[in-house]
Chain A
Amino acid sequence: MTPATGSPTLDVARLREQFPVLAREMKPGVPLVYLDSTATSQKPLAVIEAMDVFYRLHNANIHRGVYQLAEEATAQFEAARARVAAFIGAAEPAEIIFTRNTTESINLVMRTWAQANLAAGDTIVLTEMEHHSNIVPWQMLAAEKGLKLEFVPVSDDGLLVLPVYEKLLERRPKLVAVGHMSNVLGTINPVAEMSRQAHAAGAVVLVDGAQSVPHMKVNVRELGADFLAFSSHKMCGPTGIGILYGRRELLEKMPPFLGGGDMIRRVRLHEFSTNEIPHKFEAGTPAIAEAIGLGAAIAFLEAAGMDAIHAHEQDLIAYTLDRLSEVPGVHVYGPAPAVRGGVASFVMQAAHPHDVAQILDADGVAVRAGHHCAMPLHERYGLMATTRASFYLYNTREEVDRLVAAVQKVNDIFA
């Protein structure tokens, strides 16, 4: 094994300097090894400073302000929207709706498009590897309307069983809602092909891009997604802002989501008319500084290069699977590195996932333990919990070595 750092196209050492928290020692002599980017990513200086500058120099509420400061704030906010649109290949900025997070983006589709277009007896196709945020909203609507939920099963090696998916499409579902990348298995699902098949069967396709958009090049038109939901905070941006992409023709026909300011064209005492898209779906003062921070995050990611980030993470996951296979009593779930992002969820014979995470933490290695908001997937594998290490552009092979050394320590302690 050659302990090289990352891929030749990503200057990880230079990138790391941009993340102040990565310089932390969790106790004297024990530097932080942050392996929980699937939960939330760390933030580079460019993002922290963009938000700081906004609050110091440009803060005003957006839209309708007739003074210079409000015009500056509006221009920066809308520039962030345009940057998001370009980043995912949307046809125009109006197809980008700002929400609070991926969860709210999916709930928005449930409360608007699905509420208006689905009726008793209609079918929604999901998968067994979905995050709770792409299951529970549909369970809520199914209970209200009498819908049927069908789930594409997951194979032992962490892949969707596509022949079953094709069978389910014969039931002419109205909606296929699928995660692009599993937050537990790291599986990258063949969403472009699944979308093509879903459209041929007459279904609308919602893609949960929470784990894919931050880590690889995602183009909504190549993907064939009618809706794409993702979060700023997992892609180096701030918390508090999420994104819903929707095709214009769908968005225009959808009823509004929340009622209030900004989403209206005109209000009378007993009626209102709605604003144009995307504002129709953005009631109330949005997360302005956060949108500007998100814009800075996208600029940062684009400068690093999405293909280089993906290649770097595939190198890290291949190295991790290789190294962990040397440790007795460790079982890692999920597919081969070729169809997988930088996520390694594992169990150990010797100890419970929480004990593993706690022992790793003592060595500064930050991982997550639990069901990772995917209880049905854990049940599928007969598990209550796993320990999960996940990577981003700032992680290194040396950090994987620290992880593996700490995992070996678990065996020593529980021997």
Chain B
Amino acid sequence: MDDLYREQIIDHYKNPRMKGTLDPHDISYEDDNPLCGDRLRIDVRLGADGRVTEAAFSGQGCAISMASADLLTESIIGKSLEEMRAIGKDDILEMLGIELSPVRLKCALLSLKVLKAGAYGLAEVHDLD
């Protein structure tokens, strides 16, 4: 538990850096997990070179899902869509710095699913289930 609720996660949950919405935006997607009631929206703006200039997330959920959304949106600034496509489950776990049970893995991966569904369509997110 000390591992799971490391200070970093609590800090990103309580003091998110990337929380908000972007309007206008180039990419925006919202999804929920009806099982636990988590809801998440991610907005992205791209520069002329196709790289992410701004990103934001909004919604509500547990500390794991909110902290992972904050860390993920922070990490994609400056990335191209191709570089973003390469982000996988292990990258999220590395950012969080914790091991997760299968149930909590869904919480951690919600933000990546929302981002990829918005950027590349739903077909891209099946391997995250």
Residues on B with C-beta less than 8 A from A363 are 1
Chain A nearest CB: distance from B101 CB in Å?
A: 9
Q: Is the CB of A413 within 8 A of B10?
A: yes
Residues on A with C-beta less than 8 A from B10 are 413-414
CA of A351 to CA of B107, assembled, Å = 14
Of the four ranges (under 10, 10 to 19, 20 to 34, 35 or more), the interface on chain A belongs to: 20 to 34
Q: Is the CB of A359 within 8 A of B37?
A: no
Residues 377-394 of chain A: 1 if any B CB is under 8 Å from the residue's CB, otherwise 0?
A: 010000111000000000
CA of A359 to CA of B34, assembled, Å = 22
Chain B nearest CB: distance from A337 CB in Å?
A: 28
In the complex, whether B85 has a CB less than 8 A from a CB of chain A is: no
A359-B1, A414-B14 given as contacts; is B37 within 8 A of A384 (CB)?
yes
Of the four ranges (under 10, 10 to 19, 20 to 34, 35 or more), the interface on chain B belongs to: 10 to 19
Residues on A with C-beta less than 8 A from B36 are 353-354, 369-370, 384-385
- Picked from A354, A375, A378, A383, the residue with its CB within 8 Å of the CB of B107 is A354
In the complex, whether B125 has a CB less than 8 A from a CB of chain A is: no
Q: Which residue of A lies closest to B100 (CB)?
A: A358
Residues on A with C-beta less than 8 A from B1 are 358-359, 361-363
CA of A369 to CA of B107, assembled, Å = 13
Residues 104-120 of chain B: 1 if any A CB is under 8 Å from the residue's CB, otherwise 0?
A: 10010000000000000
A-B complex: 8 closest residue pairs judged by Cβ atoms? A384-B37, A362-B1, A352-B62, A354-B62, A385-B37, A355-B63, A355-B62, A413-B5
13 contacts between A and B (CB under 8 A): A351-B63, A352-B61, A352-B63, A353-B36, A354-B36, A354-B104, A355-B5, A355-B64, A362-B1, A363-B1, A370-B37, A413-B5, A413-B10
Interface residues of A (CB under 8 A from B): 351-355, 358-359, 361-363, 369-371, 375, 378, 383-385, 413-414
Interface residues of B (CB under 8 A from A): 1, 4-5, 10, 14, 34-38, 60-64, 104, 107
